[in-house]
Amino acid sequence: MQFCSFRLLKSVLAALLTGALAGCVGAPQSAALLASWEQQTLPLQSPILLDNVPFFPQDEYQCGPAALATLLGADGVAITPEELVDQVYVPARQGSLQIEMLATPRRLGRLSYPLLPELQQVLDEVASGRPVLVMQNLGLERFPQWHYAVVVGHDLAREELTLRSGLIRDYRVSMRVFERTWSRAGRWAFVAVTPGDMPVSANVQSYFQALTAFQGAASAADSQSAYDAGLARWPDSLELAMGQANLVYDGGDPLRTRDLYLDIVARHPQSAAAHNNLAQVLLETGDLGLAEDHARRAVALGGNFSQVYAETLQSILADAAQQ
């Protein structure tokens, strides 16, 4: 896998120019978005240019660190590509792997949120003021030329996107050409957000997954801010509510955990896992009678973790028998 080498760019450009002559072939999302824009059914402000996003001209094969420093700098993390090389660059592959590109912002206190493979989400995030890191294949399917760049603007009237890319600060590219290069790299894109902020394109399941990954590297305070933001947007999310309660429990506050789980089972009475976890916390706080009630409810509801629920109930009954 070869990344960001501009020695091969001339031959690649020939292929791209050939593709550009084919109109919207191979760029269905661009065609649909531009048609909606022309028909005034796409409620999206344009043009947009995030001119304050930093720019780091890249060295050969260093598009990963340069793009990541650009993305993080836009969210207030003062860091250079040189400082990121050891974290994301893989010399044997002469490039940066996507898993490391996502992991590094988490270590620096930012939540990495992968977008769906939809150009609309890229445009929406940029319109909200948030740049988007994308992966492209500037070559062909058989001869890939992988490249990371950051989308910082769009002009639908001109059918263009603006990227921080390679050695060019404001690289303007046809939306259709961009979509083809982006599609050949799996339409991969993500944003990095401060805990407590929310990507405009976020959905609850993807956000919970991103937050779960973030929590493994983040401080408890940052994780709590991210949960607060998620629950403010999706107050009825069982996954987010239980994740927050477990975070509080891990922080050594069983009484607040108990109160959170009492609220969860009130909102989600059919969640066996929530009843089981509440029963465990009640056992630890000494309310054996109520603990047994919720443990029995979990056992009755059953599910994939029925054995765990049964063990919780047995622990409660054993403690009660000793008193």
Q: What is the pLDDT of residues 55-69, one digit of tens each?
A: 999 866 678 899 999
Cα end-to-end span (Å), the chain:
65
Q: What is the pLDDT of residues 271-294, one digit of tens each?
A: 999 999 999 999 999 999 999 999
Across residues 251-278, what is the average pLDDT? 97
Across residues 169-175, what is the average pLDDT? 97
Reported as a pLDDT band with limits 50, 70 and 90, residue 227 is very high
Q: Under a CB-based contact definition with an 8 Å cutoff, are residues 205 and 182 in contact? A: no
Q: Where are the domains of the chain?
A: 6-193, 236-321
Highest mean pLDDT (candidates 6-20, 31-45, 130-144, 240-254): 240-254
CATH 3.90.70.10 corresponds to the domain 6-193: yes
Taking all residues of the chain, what is their mean pLDDT, rounded to a whole number?
90
Neighbours of 44 (CB within 10 A): 15
pLDDT at residue 45 is higher than 60: yes
**According to the 3-state scheme, what is the secondary structure of the chain?**
CCECCHHHHHHHHHHHHHHHCCCCCCCHHHHHHHHHHHCCCCCCCCCEECCCCCCCCCCCCCHHHHHHHHHHHHCCCCCCHHHHHHHHEEHHHCEECHHHHHHHHHHCCCEEEECCCCHHHHHHHHHCCCCEEEEEECCCCCCCCEEEEEEEEEECCCCEEEEEECCEEEEEEEHHHHHHHHHCCCCCEEEEECECECCCCCCHHHHHHHHHHHHCCCCHHHHHHHHHHHHHHCCCCHHHHHHHHHHHHHCCCHHHHHHHHHHHHHHCCCCHHHHHHHHHHHHHCCCHHHHHHHHHHHHHHCCCCHHHHHHHHHHHHHHHHCC
pLDDT at residue 165 is higher than 60: yes
pLDDT at residue 177 is higher than 60: yes
Gap between the Cα atoms of 257 and 281, Å rounded:
7
Q: Which CATH number is correct for 236-321, 1.20.1250.20, 2.60.40.3080, 1.10.10.10, 1.25.40.10? A: 1.25.40.10
Which two structure tokens, joined as six digits, stand for 315? Answer: 């622990």
Given CA atoms 258, 204, 270, 212 in this order, what sign does their dihedral have?
A: negative
**Structure confidence at residue 161 (pLDDT):** 98
